[in-house]
């Protein structure tokens, strides 16, 4: 069984604007968990709205993060953007499945999503944050 992931301060990059967005991204992802682990009726009623919120916030966050990197002259922004674009592509592919999927499909998607986001913060985001922080 997939378990819900809660924010903890080990995920902080110590860039307040980005940390706040990461917290919000995990909150939005957790709405997916709540919907997928709830009743079948709730899943059918709310999943489309949750997925829309998730995709909208993800696109917003990635754009803001990339702009932040450009603003502070991070040389690896193009490569980082490729990782973001690949993730968005995969999310869009998965969303098509979830429109006719089951709650188990929703929980599997949540597991993928949460693991990708936390892994991305822990690895790729830490790299650019370390390069940018001295310029803040």
The residues near 15 (Cβ < 8 Å, ≥ 6 apart) are 68, 129, 132, 133, 136
10-residue block means of pLDDT along the chain (136 residues)? 89 96 95 93 89 94 97 96 94 83 91 93 96 94
60 found inside a domain:
yes
Residue with tokens 């999503």: 113
Euclidean distance between CA atoms 129 and 56, whole angstroms: 23
Domain that holds residue 101: 25-135
13 found inside a domain:
no
109 found inside a domain:
yes
59 found inside a domain:
yes
Segment 59-90, tens digit of pLDDT = 999 999 999 999 999 999 999 999 999 999 98
- Tell which residue, 46, 45, 70, 53, has the closest CA to residue 113: 53
Longest dimension (CA), the chain: 50
Q: How many domains does the chain have?
A: 1
CATH number at residue 91: 1.20.120.50
């Amino acid at each position: 069984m997939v378990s819900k992931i809660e924010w903890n301060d080990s995920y902080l990059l110590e860039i307040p604007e980005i940390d706040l967005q990461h917290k919000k991204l995990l909150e939005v992802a957790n709405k997916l968990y709540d919907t997928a682990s709830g009743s079948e009726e709730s899943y059918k009623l709310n999943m489309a709205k949750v997925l829309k919120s998730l995709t909208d916030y993800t696109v917003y966050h990635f754009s803001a993060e990339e702009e932040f990197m450009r603003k502070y002259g991070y040389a690896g922004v193009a490569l980082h953007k490729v990782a973001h674009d690949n993730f968005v592509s995969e999310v869009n592919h998965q969303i098509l499945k979830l429109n006719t999927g089951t709650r188990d499909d929703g929980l599997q998607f949540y597991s993928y999503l949460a693991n990708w986001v936390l892994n991305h913060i822990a690895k790729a985001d830490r790299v650019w944050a370390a390069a940018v922080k001295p310029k803040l």
